[in-house]
Amino acid sequence: MLALVLLGSIAVIGGALFSQYVGGLYPCELCLLERWPYYVGIPIALLAWLAGGRSGLQVPGIALFLLFLIYTVSGGLAFYHVGVEQHWFAGPTACTGPGGAAHSVEELKAQLLAQQPVRCDEVQWSLFGVSLAGLNLVASVVLAGLSLFAWRRA
């Protein structure tokens, strides 16, 4: 089960990097933030998987619980991003639309320079109406569920 969590994690982050570097879908601020749980989870899953065959070590059980927590947080971040895309929540000001009115050219220049090139509240790409943030939400819930199931069995 740990191998499945590891492979799923690699597939998700690999898909995100592929869509960025090959597909030209540049990530917004929230997309980049949503990648961090995977950057933390992959090494934990890999080390636990490698240590899994050693007798007397509790590493896989502890790792599975940590992975459950990590992917639960990942699901929360993805849910927030979906909410920003659907305008349920206010997103980070750096990537969700224009700031306040500028009172000078310098203020306008500062606002434009602070603006992210990709907005968090606009869906760049979707599959059957589900955005990449929505797909990440599904993946995070599945990975958290697999981790919890495997941890309870361990």
Instruction: Give the Cα separation of 15 and 112 in Å (integer).
Output: 30
DSSP letter for each residue of 103-144: SSHHHHHHHHHHS-SS-TTS---EETTEEHHHHHHHHHHHHH
pLDDT exceeds 70 at position 55: no
Given this model, what pLDDT does residue 38 score? Answer: 98
With CA atoms as reference, report the closest residue to 115 among 86, 140, 100, 94.
94
What is the average per-residue pLDDT within 71-79?
97
Q: If 0-12 CB within 10 Å is exposed, 13-18 middle and 19+ buried, where does residue 48 land?
A: buried
Whether the predicted pLDDT of 58 surpasses 70:
no
* Inter-residue contact 35 to 14 (CB < 8 Å): no
CA distances from 49 to 3, 10, 25, 64 (A): 7, 14, 32, 10
Level-2 CATH architecture, domain 2-91+101-153 = Up-down Bundle (1.20)
The four Cα atoms 87, 92, 97, 100 give a dihedral, to 10 degrees, of 120
Q: What is the mean pLDDT of residues 35-52?
A: 93
82 close to 134: Cβ distance less than 8 angstroms: yes
DSSP secondary structure of 3-56: HHHHHHHHHHHHHHHHHHHTT-----HHHHHHHHHHHHHHHHHHHHHHHTTSTT
Identify the pLDDT of residue 36: 97
Whole-number pLDDT of residue 9:
97
pLDDT for res 123: 83
Q: What is the pLDDT of residues 83-141, one digit of tens each?
A: 999 989 888 876 766 555 667 888 777 766 766 678 888 888 878 988 999 999 999 99
Cα dihedral sign, 48-35-89-103: positive
